[in-house]
């Protein structure tokens, strides 16, 4: 319960005490007194005035300090905690006009939710409108659809068509933005496209369909991409832009953050220099380098300067993994960091390890999460190592490592050699890009983690946040034990039962 709820509850308790006092006085005070008429009239008038004053003050206090009780187990009539946090953090006036359909139960619930939110903070001025009864108001706002919220502040307007208070809270965050924050996605290396929103990201590798080590030698990647991540970022209010570093002399200054999601071909040396110059100038970047991606030497040197080495291996975790594949590493516990503060379980289909080196004094480097103590690494051969004349080089590769492996790291500070007046950079390197693809972003905490990474890069980690809801098709997810039980029941017990019944019938009729 928040401090506001406690204060309002105390006011409600005071109102209840006032009502009980009035009831007790009404029972104990005599209806008639043996006094002269003027005195009796004054007595009665004083009682009426006192009762009216106490009742008026109690009801005014109740209206000004409304408290909301929800006795349902599912908290159906209570806004989400994320929406409440957004409203509680308001520091400027926001006008919210909600147009609901009176015959729609979801619309009426949304009306009640925005009214409850409006009572939490005087900065949020809520007005609910039934367009069927007040069509002129809807025409004034240009609203042509039911269950729409219009948010206004300082000349800016945002319209949200939803019955979900979280989506309305996201609209509040968007209308409060006083500057445009642009997230630039890198293209030119067969990265995940961000235009389409198909459910499945499809790999056809040398070993068949795979998201793990077998998918590192990809011969075909259908463009299913990371459109859901793009939509999640746009829902928060970010502007999305594509850039091709090979055609640029420098990263555009309007890019608040650069995201390179699962490149498949190696950078050109010029591209590595452009990225290094961008970071040295105070830029921020999320680099998700999946299995099989070869780190260009200048890029490797850039990452080494801040203490990061992306290893050419795959992490196998027999203890913490998703479904039945030990290469789909699951992370239930995170290292303390603003990025991972409110992130639940996430998983990574085929992730490579990261080695952390000593860093300069002006750079802070921290792991975000690791694999379990039972995990180990296995080397992933690049395309060059698969050539016949490269067998000797492959034999001299580093041995596999056993134990907890760093899977992602975040660095920030002044770029080495940039001077004391250099702007602070921020950098996130993770050994997997699949977790943010259309296939896996909506599940567990993957979507929250991806958005939280971007929010940290643009320095909004302390601002109120709402996780955008990503629609997913209905799925039935089973554990390994459940799948084994279903297999035994359907494939063995059921056919064997039919055979035994048939044998019994034959035995009785022979």
Is 433:416 a contact under the CB 8 Å cutoff?
Answer: no
Q: Determine the straight-line distance between the first and last CA of the chain, rounded to whole angstroms.
A: 75
- For residue 328, pLDDT beyond 80: yes
Q: How far apart are CA 328 and CA 90, in angstroms?
A: 41
Closest of 168, 106, 98 to residue 138, by C-alpha:
98
What's the pLDDT score for residue 130? 93
DSSP codes, 445-487 = THHHHHHHHHHHHTT-TTS---PPP----------HHHHHHHH
CA angle 57, 60, 61 (to 5 degrees): 85
What's the pLDDT score for residue 204? 47
What's the pLDDT score for residue 3? 60
Q: Considering only 163-167, 404-408, 427-431, 471-475, which range has the smallest mean pLDDT?
A: 471-475
Is 353:401 a contact under the CB 8 Å cutoff?
Answer: yes
Which tokens hold the place of 292?
A: 């099989």
Closest of 379, 406, 411 to residue 395, by C-alpha:
379
10 Å Cβ neighbour count for 103? 10
Q: Considering only 41-45, 168-172, 219-223, which range has the smallest mean pLDDT?
A: 219-223
Q: Considering only 7-21, 183-197, 200-214, 458-472, which range has the smallest mean pLDDT?
A: 200-214
Closest of 146, 34, 29, 158 to residue 96, by C-alpha:
158
Closest of 249, 304, 301, 317 to residue 278, by C-alpha:
249
Q: pLDDT tens, 434-493?
A: 999 988 888 888 999 999 999 999 998 877 666 666 655 555 555 566 677 888 888 889
Which tokens hold the place of 84?
A: 């409440």
Which tokens hold the place of 170?
A: 């996201």
Residue 200 pLDDT class (50, 70, 90 cuts): low
Which tokens hold the place of 502?
A: 């048939």
- For residue 370, pLDDT beyond 80: yes
Q: What percent of the chain has pLDDT over 70?
A: 83
* CA distances (Å), origin 440, targets 63, 121, 492: 47, 37, 33
What's the pLDDT score for residue 397? 58
* H or E stretch covering 98: strand 94-99
Give the mean pLDDT of 78-96: 89
Closest of 149, 144, 157 to residue 129, by C-alpha:
149
Give the mean pLDDT of 217-242: 77
- For residue 399, pLDDT beyond 50: yes
Ranges 73-87, 217-231, 373-387, 466-480, most confident: 73-87
Which tokens hold the place of 220?
A: 């075909």
Q: Which residues contact 457 (CB under 8 A, 6 or more apart)?
A: 256, 257, 284, 285, 286, 426, 428
Residue 219 pLDDT class (50, 70, 90 cuts): very low
Which tokens hold the place of 14?
A: 């005071």
- For residue 196, pLDDT beyond 80: no
What's the pLDDT score for residue 455? 92
Residue 391 pLDDT class (50, 70, 90 cuts): low
Q: How far apart are CA 298 and CA 234, in angstroms?
A: 33
DSSP codes, 346-394 = EEEES---EEE----TTEEEEEEEE--TT-EEEE---TGGGSGGGHHHH
Q: Which residues pair with 36 in a beta bridge?
A: none
């Amino acid at each position: 319960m928040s401090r506001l709820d406690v204060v309002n509850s105390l006011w409600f308790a005071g109102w209840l005490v006032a009502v009980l006092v009035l009831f007790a006085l009404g029972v104990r005070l005599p209806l008639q007194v043996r006094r002269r008429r003027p005195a009796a009239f004054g007595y009665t008038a004083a009682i009426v005035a006192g009762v009216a004053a106490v009742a008026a003050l109690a009801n005014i206090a109740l209206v000004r300090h409304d408290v909301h009780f929800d006795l349902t187990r599912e908290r159906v009539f209570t806004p989400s905690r994320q929406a409440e946090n957004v409203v509680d953090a308001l520091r400027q006036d926001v006008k919210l006009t909600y147009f609901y359909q009176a015959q729609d139960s979801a619309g009426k619930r949304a009306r009640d939710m925005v009214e409850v939110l409006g009572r939490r903070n005087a900065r949020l001025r809520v007005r609910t409108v039934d367009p069927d009864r007040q069509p002129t108001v809807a025409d004034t706002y240009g609203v042509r659809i039911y269950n729409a919220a219009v948010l206004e502040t300082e000349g800016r307007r945002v319209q949200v068509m939803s019955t979900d208070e979280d989506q309305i809270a996201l609209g509040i965050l968007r209308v409060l933005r006083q500057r445009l924050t642009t997230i630039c996605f890198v293209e030119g290396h067969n990265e995940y496209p961000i235009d389409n929103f198909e459910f499945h990201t499809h790999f056809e590798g040398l070993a068949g369909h795979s998201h793990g080590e077998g998918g590192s030698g990809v011969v075909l990647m259908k463009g299913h991409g990371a459109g859901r991540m793009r939509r999640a970022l746009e829902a928060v209010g970010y502007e999305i832009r594509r850039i091709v570093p090979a055609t640029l002399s420098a990263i555009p200054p309007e890019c608040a953050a650069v995201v390179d999601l699962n490149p498949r071909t190696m950078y050109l040396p010029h591209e590595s220099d452009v990225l290094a110059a961008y970071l040295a100038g105070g830029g921020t970047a999320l680099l998700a380098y999946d299995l099989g991606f070869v780190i260009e030497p200048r890029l490797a040197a850039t990452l080494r300067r801040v203490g990061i080495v992306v290893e050419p291996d795959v992490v196998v975790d027999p203890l913490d993994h998703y479904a039945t594949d030990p290469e789909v590493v699951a992370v239930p516990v995170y290292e303390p960091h603003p990025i991972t503060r409110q992130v639940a379980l996430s998983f990574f289909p085929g992730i490579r390890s990261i080695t952390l080196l000593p860093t300069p004094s002006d750079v802070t480097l921290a792991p975000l999460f690791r694999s379990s103590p039972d995990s180990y690494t296995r080397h992933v051969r690049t395309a060059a190592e698969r050539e016949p004349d490269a067998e000797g080089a492959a034999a001299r590769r580093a041995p596999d490592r056993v134990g907890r492996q760093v899977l992602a790291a975040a660095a920030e500070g002044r770029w080495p050699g940039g001077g004391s007046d250099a702007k602070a950079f921020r950098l996130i390197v993770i050994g997997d890009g699949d977790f943010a693809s259309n296939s896996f972003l909506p599940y567990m905490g993957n979507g929250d983690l991806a958005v939280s990474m971007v929010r940290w890069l643009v320095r909004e980690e302390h601002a109120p946040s709402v996780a955008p809801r990503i629609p997913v098709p209905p799925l039935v997810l089973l554990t390994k034990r459940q799948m084994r039980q279903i297999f035994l029941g359907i494939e063995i017990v059921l056919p064997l039962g039919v055979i035994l019944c048939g044998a019994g019938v034959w035995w009785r009729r022979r």
